[in-house]
């Protein structure tokens, strides 16, 4: 019995030893295998990250090249194309035809000339008034209306891009997002996008529609928007992210514009005071002693002096305007 118990004990201990050796070998093999798998996985991830970085860099270079190409083309077109009166009326948001504009300018010139002749002005003053009323003031008014419309458009444009971003993120197509903008944003942004959407419905491409939009509203913001849309359409990518970045850039430009206006407000106030001082003094003198200042309007030398004063005052105001106008 003692010998049998000894054999049984030896067999049990041998089995335990063999099991421990097998477990240790399997554990070591598993550890090596895990290390080998981690190394292979790390290599694959590194290769994938390198490929993704290369693809992103290639896409960025492609977008930069297309941006430069589009900007160059638009700059060349802007230099070559001379805006017609019909185009300037469209940019101002006016529905009148060039014929109506010319008729209204002629009527205004005739009324101004008749008023100057009725008050006894000499012939060259009458001609100067007709020229200013028929050509100068209407063109100045048209530029003023166009500039005011561009400012209103720029003020609401960043909000329009935010609506496009939210619409695209919710799954709407780009055309439907543009349609939402044409109904939700105030004028003149809604009108421009409505024209764009109507053009897309009848077969106009996105690039052509955005080009026409830039012709009607030649601002840097519309130029940026058109470039982003065209480049994304040709190269692909995340449209919502690109437009979101564009909206942030436009808001930064708006804040910069506000800072510039605040910094130049003192200079503008000084220019306004200096420019309005001579006419105000003339009006006060005319109200107190009209015989003293009537010589400027009744005598030949007085008319020449008045013309010279107006000319030099105009040059001075243009110089001051140039000094306080900042481009950014």
Q: Locate tokens 């166009």: which residue?
A: 146
Q: Locate tokens 């798998």: which residue?
A: 37
> What pTM does this model have?
0.61
The predicted structure's pLDDT at residue 212: 86
Q: Locate tokens 């106008």: which residue?
A: 325
Q: Locate tokens 């928007």: which residue?
A: 225
pLDDT in tens, 109-123: 889 888 888 887 777
User: Under a CB-based contact definition with an 8 Å cutoff, are residues 144 and 107 in contact?
Assistant: no
C-alpha count within 13 angstroms, C-beta hemisphere, residue 92: 22
Tokens linked to 80: 């070559």
pLDDT above 50 (res 237): yes
pLDDT above 80 (res 323): no
Which residues contact residue 84 at a Cβ distance below 8 angstroms, ignoring those fewer than 6 apart?
Answer: 98
SS3 state at 219? coil
The predicted structure's pLDDT at residue 210: 86
Q: Rg of the Cα trace of the chain?
A: 38
pLDDT in tens, 142-169: 989 988 888 888 888 888 888 888 888 8
The domains of the chain are located at: 256-328
The predicted structure's pLDDT at residue 310: 84
pLDDT above 70 (res 253): yes
How many Å from the N-terminal Cα to the C-terminal Cα in the chain? 106
Residues 17 and 106: their CA atoms lie apart, in Å, by 116
pLDDT above 60 (res 172): yes
Tokens linked to 187: 């004028």
CB atoms within 10 A of CB 145: 16
pLDDT above 60 (res 270): yes
Range with lowest mean pLDDT among 25-34, 124-133, 145-154, 214-223: 25-34
pLDDT in tens, 13-63: 556 555 555 444 444 444 555 555 555 455 555 555 566 555 555 655 555
The predicted structure's pLDDT at residue 15: 61
What percentage of the chain exceeds 90 in pLDDT? 0
Q: What is the largest CA-CA distance in the chain?
A: 153
The predicted structure's pLDDT at residue 23: 47
Residue whose C-alpha is closest to residue 247's, from 186, 175, 162: 162
SS3 state at 100? helix
The per-residue DSSP string of 20-43 comes to HHHHHHHHHHHHHHHHHHHHHHHH
What percentage of the chain exceeds 70 in pLDDT? 74
Q: How far is CA 37 from the centre of its chain?
A: 52
Residues 200 and 98: their CA atoms lie apart, in Å, by 28
């Amino acid at each position: 019995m003692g010998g049998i118990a000894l054999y049984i004990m030896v067999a049990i201990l041998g089995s335990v030893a063999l099991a421990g050796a097998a477990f240790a070998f399997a554990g070591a093999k598993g550890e090596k295998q895990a290390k080998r798998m981690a190394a292979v996985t790390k290599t694959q991830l590194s290769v994938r990250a390198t490929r993704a970085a290369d693809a992103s860099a290639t896409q960025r270079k492609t977008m930069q090249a297309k941006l430069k190409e589009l900007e160059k083309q638009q700059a060349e077109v802007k230099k070559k194309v001379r805006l017609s009166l019909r185009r300037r009326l469209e940019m101002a948001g006016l529905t009148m035809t060039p014929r109506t504009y010319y008729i209204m300018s002629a009527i205004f010139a005739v009324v101004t000339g008749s008023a100057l002749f009725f008050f006894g002005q000499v012939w060259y003053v009458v001609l100067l008034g007709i020229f200013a009323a028929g050509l100068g003031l209407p063109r100045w008014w048209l530029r003023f209306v166009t500039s005011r419309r561009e400012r209103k458009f720029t003020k609401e444009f960043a909000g329009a891009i935010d609506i496009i971003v939210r619409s695209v993120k919710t799954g709407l197509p780009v055309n439907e997002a543009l349609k939402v903008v044409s109904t939700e944003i105030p004028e003149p942004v809604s009108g421009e996008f409505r024209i764009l959407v109507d053009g897309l419905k009848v077969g106009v491409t996105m690039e052509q529609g955005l080009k026409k939009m830039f012709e009607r509203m030649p601002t840097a913001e519309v130029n940026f928007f058109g470039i982003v849309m065209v480049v994304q359409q040709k190269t692909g990518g995340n449209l919502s992210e690109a437009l979101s970045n564009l909206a942030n850039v436009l808001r930064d430009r708006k804040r910069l514009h506000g800072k510039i206006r605040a910094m130049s407000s003192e200079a503008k106030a000084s220019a306004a005071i200096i420019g309005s001082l001579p006419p105000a003094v003339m009006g006060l003198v005319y109200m107190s002693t009209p015989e003293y200042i009537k010589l400027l309007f009744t005598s030949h030398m007085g008319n020449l002096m008045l013309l010279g004063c107006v000319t030099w005052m105009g040059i001075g105001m243009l110089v001051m305007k140039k000094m306080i106008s900042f481009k950014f």
